[in-house]
Structures are given as structure tokens and as C-alpha cells.
Amino acid sequence: MLKIFEFRITFLLILCLNLVACSDTNQPKTYPFVYTEMIMGTSFTIKITTLPAAVKIETLKNQIKNLLDKLNGDLSTYEPKSALSLFNQKLSSDWQIIPNSLLIVLVEAQRISQLSAGAFDISVGKLVNLWGFGVEPMHFSAPDDNILKKVLATLGYQHLLIDKPASKIKKQQPELYLDLSAIAKGYAVDQVALLLEVQEINDYMVEIGGEIRLKGQNISGAGWKIAIEKPTSEKRVIQKVVSISNIAMATSGDYRNFFELEGKRYSHTIDPRTGRPITHQLASVTILNNSAMTADALATAIMVLGEDEGYRLAQQQNIAALFIIKTTEGFVEKSSSAFIKFFKETS
């Protein structure tokens, strides 16, 4: 019997609280700038607490939309003419010049791949598609072992070569296919935040597909309150609320996108090292970092590694990480030393 749990959400949805606050006169305070729309196959929300007089709302919205459209045209696998898609389509080992945004993301992706010993690998897209969780039509079945081996032979972040000074990349494996869904949204968050800060906007929340960056204060004059969801597929329940600012946050979980076949559960989170869905007990991991791009990638890497390997990496690399782990008695939390230290320093 096949059970489908298909939410098409790559990462754990982060719920943003305190969107409206009340003043002493019980009149609701509203943000002078709120912008919500769709991009990169997901939604984005931007809230600004204080808008400088020189900044016009419609002009800023156009600037944000133009920026996100440009990044989508560079980094998306859903856009057949994006810079990334054109690279994927060429079965060539020639050097190819790429836009700076793609170069930046690829350099950081390779760094996280090396740091995690391959648990993070942007060449995993073919595997994701093979298991029915990618851009191709859903089929909800475990692939044949022989097919899986053939696909695995075409993967590997080490087959991507980068010439950073020349802004060029090349494939050592002609069939190499790159998918930036586990890092591109974080990069887009960082770029929107930079756009705001250049215009002296210093109190904001930028969220794209659950990846988030916060600065300054919310409309109540306090830190931004963010809810981390309990990792359960039945209904949305808050696990933990944190008050944070001047930081980026990303969460990865395995409970919003999976299928069950003959009593076995198949997660959308694929381990690039084995070619198979993860089977450990880590339900979700939340990462804090100055860069949303880095937080985005680290969340996926640690989600693949699991509660033991992932925790060791977080401790060794001073990564601020909150683990929510499945047990027979429910969910338990485990925080890295850097995660605990962050809240001690900001309290």
C-alpha cells in the first residue's frame, strides 16, 4: 500500500510571529513595508520596520523583484534557459563562463561539500528525481538497484572544477547535473538583505522559502520572534519560539515531503553518499549563521549526517545548531555549544 505525503516543501517551514503588535492604546501597529510574492518555486516575505523617507515603496518592490528574477535566471533548475540549466544541458567538459551569482553559490557549495565529506552535494539532483522528489513527475516508488548504481556513477561534487578568478566552471563527468535548491534560496535572502542595507534599511525580516535573515527590531521594538515547528506531518504545532536578530536562520526537516510504500517510509532527504533516503532519527535541524546561504547549506548537510555525525560536525566547526530528534517517547531537543552561546550573548 502506498501512502503519499507530498507537500513539495524542501525545508521545514519557519513561521514568523509577531507580525502585528499592539500599542498602549490597543491600536494595531503595522509595518510600513510588507512585500509577499512567489519566486524560485516558493514564496517570499519581506517586512521592514522603519522605512527611510527617501525610499519609495513601489520603487523598492520593483528593485527586489528585479533582483530575485535575475537570481532565478541564474540559479534555477526550473528555468530551462537559466545559467545553471544551460550548464546542466551541455554534455561537455569545456570551460564555461558563468555569472558572478552562480560562481559565489558554487564556491560555497563546494566548501560545504568538503566540510561535510560529501553529505552535502549539489550533484544530488538526479537522485532526488529518481526517488520522485524532484522536478520530474512524481512516481512514488523505490528505484531499481541497477538504475541507482548507474545514476550514482554520474554524481560527485568533486567532478565540478571551478576557476574562480576567471569565473569559469567545467565538468569532469559530462553527465554531471547540478541542483542548487539547498543553497540558492539562502543566497537570495542574503542578496535582498544587502539591497536593503545599501539603502540604510536596518530593521527588517527577509524570508524566502523558509530561509530567513533578520536585522534590528520588529514593529514592537524588540527582537524578531521566530517559531520553529514541531516536526510532525499530522498538523502544524510550534516546538520552540526564539527571539533573534542580526542573524540568518535555516531549517531542514524530513517530515513534510515523503512517501510510504509497503510500510516503509522514504524521506525526500537523500544521502548523496549512499544514493538512498536518510533513515536516522534526526527529524529537523535549525542553523544560525551570519550568512543565510551558509545556514541553508549547513542545514541540509547536517540533516543528511544525522543526530550523531551532525552534532560532531557542529561541535568541531563551531556551528550554531538546534537538533530535534525522534525518540520512542516523542521529540527531544539537543543544542550545539555555539547555539547555546548565541542566546547567552544576546540575552
Phi and psi at residue 104, to the nearest 5° = -60, -45
Q: pTM value? A: 0.89
The kind and range of the H/E element at 120 are none
Whole-angstrom CA distances from 71 to 3, 62, 124, 310 are 36, 14, 21, 30
Decide: 278 and 304 in contact? Cβ < 8 Å: yes
How many C-beta atoms surround the C-beta of residue 39 within 10 A?
A: 19
Better-predicted residue by pLDDT, 257 or 144: 144
What pLDDT shows up at residue 12? 34
Is the model's pLDDT at 22 over the cut of 90?
A: no
What pLDDT shows up at residue 15? 42
Largest CA distance in the chain: 68
DSSP for 41-56 reads TEEEEEEES---TT--
| Strand-pair category, 21-22 with 28-29 | antiparallel
Mean pLDDT within 192-211: 97
Distance of CA 126 to the CA centre of its chain: 18
Among residues 241, 272, 239, 264, which one has the least CA distance to residue 253?
239
Domains of the chain are 85-171 (1.10.3980.10)
Summarize pLDDT for 89-125 with one digit per residue, the tens. 999 999 999 999 999 999 999 999 999 999 999 999 8
